Amino acid sequence: MFAAARPASVAAAAARRGFASSAAARKNVVVIGAAGGIGQPLSLLLKLNPQVSRLALYDIVNTPGVAADLSHINTPAKVTGFKGAESLPAALEGADVVVVPAGVPRKPGMTRDDLFNTNANIVKGIGEAVAKYAPKAHVLIISNPVNSTVPIVAEALKKAGAFDPRRVFGVTTLDVVRASTFVSEIKGTDPEKTKVTVVGGHSGVTIIPLLSQ
């Protein structure tokens, strides 16, 4: 699935982009939606990050198996799987960072409104749980449509008196990565060194790659 030399380079990149450089700053990270198509590879990358000390994997199914597989990787992070709604409080305990790829992916024929109707209640419940069990955590929202799910989580945190705008993020790195890849293919450059800034959130109507930059 992955080339033998790849984990070291991925870990190095994760360390460069990651949390902080000192061992004292190692983080307790929770992935909510860890058994899904994004959650599993994301959890693998986090296990490879040397700045992660505890990795809690939560989902409604299959997380014990995913956690068992990842726990065999020879990096310091301790991996624990949590399955079912009753285990979410334990998963969130002591969290510094909560990453949320939970929800359903956008399927062919689905509009963003369709996606919103499905994922809105999911992320609302997650926001309420974070407010109660990990109110000081940084919350990174991947669940689509990101332009709508981030405000839902923010409002859930506000209602509980736990909102801090410096701690809630919408993750749109995918757009930057795609833009860098597409431009490097056209120009024949190294995609890792081709940087394209993308603004306008994660919506086909508003998103703009700043190619002139």
Contacts 24+ apart (CB under 8 A), 8-17: 10/45, 10/48, 11/48, 11/49, 11/50, 11/75, 14/45, 14/46, 14/48, 14/49, 14/50, 14/51, 15/49, 15/50, 15/51
Q: Is 72 a catalytic residue?
A: no
Closest CA to 153 of 187, 188, 125: 125
Closest CA to 146 of 47, 43, 38: 38
Tokens read off for 161: 């008196």
Asked if residue 145 has a cis previous peptide bond (ω within 30° of 0), the answer is: yes
205: phi > 0 → left, psi -120 to 50 → alpha, else beta; which? alpha
Q: Please tell me which residue in 139, 144, 202, 209 is annotated as part of the active site.
A: 202
Cβ(139)–Cβ(168) under 8 Å?
yes
Q: Give the count of alpha carbons within 13 A of 153, CB side only.
A: 33
Cβ(42)–Cβ(99) under 8 Å?
yes
| Catalytic residue IDs | 202
